Amino acid sequence: MLRVAGARLLDDRDRAGVRAALEADPVAACMVAARVEVAGLDPWRLGGELWSVGPRLDGLCFSGANLVPLRGERSALRSFADRARRHGRGCSSLVGRAELVLPLWDELAPAWAPARELRPDQPLMVLAGPPTITPDPLVRPVRPEEIDVYLPAAVAMFTEEVGVDPRAGDGGAGYRARVAELVSAGRAFARFEDGQVVFKAEIGALSSQVGQIQGVWVHPSKRGLGYGTIGTAAVADRLAALGRVSSLYVNGFNHVARSVYGKIGFTQVASFATVLF
């Protein structure tokens, strides 16, 4: 069997080809495309590296805080695994299309296992246009001076969803900085009642075509009352006004959330998988 040459590091000379590859799969590639559009391919500005296999970028993978395979056959994924093993694991997760993540994890598991958790079935959902239900008019962008009220809700969401406290290790400085960045960019949204957050969500990545909604959370005292449905619709409505497709991915076992997103008009277009470390 012919073996594909090892993965190579891309730079700004490859930018046109990378942009074309990302635009060919705009929803699944949104997280990486948003970075590349702003920062180019220089690793320092990008916050990671882009690796390729093949003269026409037949395989493509982002390596940073997350390892994100973007395209490639099994031989290309094997090359990415080889390079990742040589570098050592510096990512907190492996995430992307399930048909890429799961075979890449098969290659990496002998060196990187055990993972803290494997989530093999995460429907990737899309809404092209405004929501099909009336958005919550009380959901609005969080103001910078409200970050101390917003942050506990963000921490609660992260802890519930990921299973670890994002303040561990550095006392929360890094997570606070990330949340503050989203707030400053106008990409953190909330509904406030009696001085506390009862609904929150963020646009975690925003490319020229797609906005990826993340961190959807409802205060425990308000769950089951429809806050999540109309609140998420409000964020999707903002993205529609910006001319962006709304996307998100959700755990396959979370039938309540999948039902909520279906009511808003989201439909599944692919499946993601995540390996958490």
The model's pLDDT over 102-139, given as tens digits with 9 standing for 90+, comes to 999 999 999 999 999 999 999 999 999 999 999 999 99
Q: What is the mean pLDDT of residues 8-15?
A: 94
Closest to 25 measured CA to CA, from 73, 60, 54, 50:
60
pTM, 2 dp: 0.93
Q: What is the pLDDT of residue 139?
A: 98
Contact 51, 65 (CB under 8 A): no
Q: Compute the average pLDDT of residues 79-99.
A: 95
Residue appearing with tokens 């958490």: 276
The pLDDT of 53-62, averaged and rounded, is: 93
Where b means 16+ CB within 10 Å and e means fewer, 212-229 reads bbbbbbbbeeeeeeebbb
- Per-residue pLDDT reduced to its tens digit, 250-272: 999 999 999 999 999 999 999 99
pLDDT tops 80 at residue 80 = yes
Are 82 and 59 a contacting pair, CB within 8 Å?
A: no
Instruction: Write out pLDDT tens, residues 153-198.
Output: 999 999 999 888 999 888 889 999 999 999 999 999 999 999 999 9
Report pLDDT for 3. Answer: 45
Q: What amino acid is encoded at 223 in this protein?
A: R
Name the domain boundary from 62, 81, 114: 114
- Say if residue 108 is in the same domain as residue 140: no
Give how far Cα 40 sits from Cα of 3, 12, 48, 70, 87, Å.
30, 6, 11, 17, 22
Looking at residue 204, its pLDDT comes to 97
Residue 16 resides in a domain? yes
pLDDT of residue 5: 61
Q: Are strands 267-276 and 93-97 parallel, antiparallel or unpaired?
A: antiparallel
Tokens 């890429």 belong to which residue?
100
Looking up residue 190, the CATH number of its domain turns out to be: 3.40.630.30
pLDDT of residue 2: 40
CB atoms within 10 A of CB 155: 17
Dist CA 185 CA 273 (whole Å): 28
Ordered alpha helix ranges (H), the chain: 15-23, 30-39, 43-46, 74-87, 98-112, 147-162, 173-184, 227-241, 255-264
Cα 270 to chain centroid distance, Å, stands at 14
Question: In what helix (H) or strand (E) does residue 223 lie, and over which residues does it extend?
Answer: none
Do residue 170 and residue 208 come from a single domain?
yes
* The last residue of a domain, from among 87, 114, 141: 114
Do 52 and 188 lie in a common domain?
Answer: no
Picking from 57, 88, 114, the residue at the C-terminal end of a domain is 114
Compute the average pLDDT of residues 63-67.
96
**What is the domain extent for residue 197?**
128-272
Query: What pLDDT does residue 1 have?
Result: 36
- At residue 203, the pLDDT reads 98
Give the count of beta carbons closer than 10 Å to the beta carbon of residue 151.
20
The tally of domains found in the chain comes to 2
Q: Is 76 in the same domain as 183? A: no
